[in-house]
Amino acid sequence: MTHATFAIEPRQQEGRLVLHLSGELDLAAREPLLRESERHAGAAPVVLDLSDARFIDASVVGALFRLARLSRDRGGRLALVDSHAATRSIWRLTGYPEVCPVFVSIQEATAALLK
């Protein structure tokens, strides 16, 4: 699913569904992200890869909190990948890593989901 400012691309990677998000993740990306992710939440472990996101705003982080809760409620597992996590203040400011782990690589996230 590609829009003018962002894209959400489902991929199978290392035996896991990876939703690769890129571009400007702002209010316009919130609903498409929820629609695409909610279809998969709980069915199998899901990795959200935000490493190619140029911008992530609070509305998208709110959607990520919702997805983490939904996945947990459905008995699934969710992991987030952001290779820029150390330099993005949004994770520290929102406390999101306390609810859902944020990894720096898909390999690291996949290994954690296998545990």
- CA-atom Rg of the chain in angstroms: 13
Percent of all residues in the chain with a pLDDT value above 70, rounded to a whole number = 95
Model pTM score: 0.88
Average pLDDT over the chain, rounded to whole?
89
What are the pLDDT digits (tens) for 4-55? Answer: 789 999 988 766 789 999 999 999 999 999 998 888 888 678 899 999 999 9
- The one-character DSSP state at 100 is S
If pLDDT is split at 50, 70 and 90, which confidence band does 2 have? Answer: low
Beta strand 46-56 with 78-81 is parallel
pLDDT of 3 strictly over 80: no
